[in-house]
Structure 1
Amino acid sequence: MTGTVSTAAGASARRDGVLRIGTRGSALAVAQTTHVAKAIARATGVDVELVTVTTHGDTSRESLSNLGGTGVFATALREALLADECDLLVHSLKDLPTAAAPGLVIGAVPKRADARDALCARDGLTLETLPEGARVGTGSPRRIAQLKAQRPDLEVVDIRGNVDTRLGRVAEGDLDAVVLAAAGLGRLDRLDAVTDYFPLSQFPTAPGQGALAIEVRAGEEKGRGPIARALQAVDHATTHATATAERTVLAGLEAGCAAPIGASALVEDGLLFLTATVYRPDGTERITASHAATPDSFGAADLDEAARDVGARVVTELLEAGAAGLAPLGSSR
């Protein structure tokens, strides 16, 4: 039993037997939503239709920090879901504010892709071999701080644009390199552009990076309806828990998704480990906290409760160490 996947522009009227999935119209957003749509269609046999929605973050050329963080990508999508123009939304989890949207819930988090950041540089250069004064592009305050901490001699350039636009600036010689998410490059079949991967132990990435979130109207994630079945088919419990732990740090620090914060969680040997770092924007200082939890000790809700517990303990340690005064954290709302 296999469903089909099709695409519609703008609002889409409800059709019996078809699940409508809202997505931004960028190449990366469509690629990752198509991946989820195919997984749902295969698992449920339901026909799936992609509905593209234009967001303010797609049309503005301002930096993400000036726009108020990557939450600007979520608003129009959520309005479309609440207006019944689609049945599900697919977000990059790192772009989703931690504050819940009234009437909506995250119903599923599919298996995570590579969470690392990747350097895409001219001539096969790595972060270590980039020449002094090399121009490296990124729009992320966290990546800026990490680059300056590792290589204070680099000229870090604030950039916007899609993956092809950013890679094009390297090809044209305007930049020596750009830093991008490995997951996004993989979803676009552009891993050939990577010249260096940054290890998570040294370069923790944005909370939720590499993971996707499927958002639905509250209540529709329950029961045995087609939406609930679709969510159950693609949810990955370990990814859901590790992403929850990382995002608990953002929420606890009342930080925006563009704040200079890196977090990395994993489940190994029966433990859920979480490490988070807050950076001074110029890269000269950082505060790190690490904790672990045993999911089995939390009863029926094990992984989710363990994730929130370990996240809360990391937040407490960061705040006690002075993280709130280290960097402008913005707002998660």
Structure 2
Amino acid sequence: MRIGTRRSALATTQSSHVAAAINAFGTATELVEINTDGDRSQATGIPISQAASATGVFVSALREALLAGEVDVAVHSLKDLPTTPADGITLAAVPMREDPRDVVVARDGLTLGELPPGSRVGTGSPRRVAQLHALGLGLDVAGLRGNVDTRIGHVREGRYDAVVLARAGLSRLGRLDEVTEVLDPLQMLPAPGQGALAVECRSDDAETLALLARLDDPATRAAVLAERAVLATLEGGCSAPIGALADLVEGEDGPELWLRAVALSPDGTLAVRRSASSPLAEEPASWSDAATILGQALGREMLDDGAAELDDRASSPPPPPSSNDHPSARSAEVHNA
């Protein structure tokens, strides 16, 4: 079975995990490396948000190889997938998710709150930029591209005081010892689908669909479908300043899905923040539909609260806090930072 993957160390590591799981079923695998538009824009230093097609920039080449019959399976970071379905391609499996939170790698073992105002913090994500500004710490948030080694290298070499990354990637690469702070979702909600993998195949390949279904984790699939339904309803795309996180919990009357989401102005001065929950049936077969309905409903509430007008109502980033300020998580529906 030929597994299509991006060429980065993280992508090949993720795809190798999927390959090992397939091997355990008695099927031999081969990784096929595909160069994507996202990889090429990283090499040129062009920010993802300015690329010709920011949404799906890491995905399209893998899908083209899949439809052309060059590979049998494509493995993606699920947060990179466009929210609209691709003709002829099925999301066959969403394996169990890694911890979806964001983390800080900072000089001298510091946390965000310990960095002095004006410290340079790097990230290539508009979602992280907006939420960093919303914390009101007076940080100099600067754009940053490149793989994990490149980003952390900027801190080691003194060009940045800290970088913000996904914990899942560092975990899969065995580099959690470099993390100086794990960010609570109250401070920074992750990207919809962060920490999860998407395993796709051709919709007419019944044999591969059946095999990959054995990799699927229903709880993870329900959580990420709810998060992505918020994103799709807000029409933000994967590079918009939108965060969402869903958790499957055991309630008094059975399983429940809890969902939190935030949409921010790019400068972080305004935000619409909402949460909701939904009971789930005991059998996982219906969880996907319930999760999608929950995410769509929450997204519509956020639109009613003004999420679509955040750009028009935003002001400049907040000033550095005084020594007496104590930044806290925002919880109002629509608020000034």
Please, what TM-score do these two structures have when normalized by structure 2?
0.88
| 1: CA distance, partners of 2:176 / 2:267 | 29
Contact 1:98–1:250 under 8 Å retained in 2: yes
Amino acid of the structure 1 residue aligned with 2:248: V
Q: Aligned residue for 1:40? A: 22
Matched, 1:274 2:255: no
Query: What pairs with 1:276-291 in structure 2 (closer than 5 Å)?
Result: 276-291=261-276
| 2: CA distance, partners of 1:71 / 1:300 | 29
Give 5+ residue unaligned stretches, structure 1.
1-18, 329-333
Query: What pairs with 1:1-40 in structure 2 (closer than 5 Å)?
Result: 19-40=1-22
Contact 1:109–1:214 under 8 Å retained in 2: yes
Matched, 1:294 2:279: yes
Q: Aligned residue for 2:144? A: 159
| 1: CA distance, partners of 2:125 / 2:166 | 11
Q: Aligned residue for 2:176? A: 191
| 1: CA distance, partners of 2:4 / 2:303 | 37
Q: Aligned residue for 1:326? A: 310
Aligned residues: 304
Q: Aligned residue for 2:185? A: 200
Identity of paired residues, percent? 52
1:233-254 per-position Cα deviation (integer Å, ceiling 9, x unaligned): 2110100110000000111111
1:281-325 per-position Cα deviation (integer Å, ceiling 9, x unaligned): 11111101111111229x884211110111011011101001011
Moved over 6 A (4+): none
| 2: CA distance, partners of 1:154 / 1:212 | 32
Contact 1:90–1:215 under 8 Å retained in 2: yes
How far 1:106 moved relative to its partner? Answer: 0.6
How far 1:275 moved relative to its partner? Answer: 0.9
Contact 2:101–2:183 under 8 Å retained in 1: yes
Residue 210 of structure 1 is aligned with which of 195, 215, 223? Answer: 195
Change (3 A) 1:174 1:21: same
Q: Aligned residue for 2:299? A: 315
Amino acid of the structure 2 residue aligned with 1:62: I
How far 1:152 moved relative to its partner? Answer: 4.2
| 1: CA distance, partners of 2:128 / 2:3 | 31
Query: What pairs with 1:100-115 in structure 2 (closer than 5 Å)?
Result: 100-115=85-100
Change (3 A) 1:219 1:293: farther
Query: What pairs with 1:176-255 in structure 2 (closer than 5 Å)?
Result: 176-220=161-205, 222=206, 225=207, 227-255=208-236
| Two-structure CA RMSD over aligned residues (Å) | 1.4
Contact 1:295–1:305 under 8 Å retained in 2: no
Matched, 1:66 2:22: no
Residue 98 of structure 1 is aligned with which of 75, 78, 83? Answer: 83
Change (3 A) 1:165 1:78: same
Contact 2:113–2:137 under 8 Å retained in 1: no
How far 1:69 moved relative to its partner? Answer: 2.3
Q: Aligned residue for 1:258? A: 239
Contact 2:218–2:284 under 8 Å retained in 1: no
Residue 304 of structure 1 is aligned with which of 275, 283, 288? Answer: 288
Residue 102 of structure 2 is aligned with which of 117, 121, 133? Answer: 117
| 2: CA distance, partners of 1:229 / 1:35 | 19
Give 5+ residue unaligned stretches, structure 2.
313-337
How far 1:74 moved relative to its partner? Answer: 0.6
How far 1:263 moved relative to its partner? Answer: 0.1
| 2: CA distance, partners of 1:246 / 1:197 | 21
| 2: CA distance, partners of 1:151 / 1:39 | 44
Q: Aligned residue for 1:77? A: 62
Amino acid of the structure 2 residue aligned with 1:228: L
| 2: CA distance, partners of 1:31 / 1:318 | 36
Q: Aligned residue for 1:149? A: 134
Contact 2:201–2:209 under 8 Å retained in 1: no
1:58-89 per-position Cα deviation (integer Å, ceiling 9, x unaligned): 01121011014251111111110000000000
How far 1:228 moved relative to its partner? Answer: 2.6
The DSSP-based 3-state class of the residue aligned with 2:235 is coil
Amino acid of the structure 1 residue aligned with 2:21: A
The DSSP-based 3-state class of the residue aligned with 1:40 is helix
The DSSP-based 3-state class of the residue aligned with 1:292 is strand
Q: Aligned residue for 1:7? A: none
Please, what TM-score do these two structures have when normalized by structure 1?
0.89
Change (3 A) 1:176 1:206: same
The DSSP-based 3-state class of the residue aligned with 1:326 is helix
How far 1:230 moved relative to its partner? Answer: 2.8
The DSSP-based 3-state class of the residue aligned with 1:216 is strand
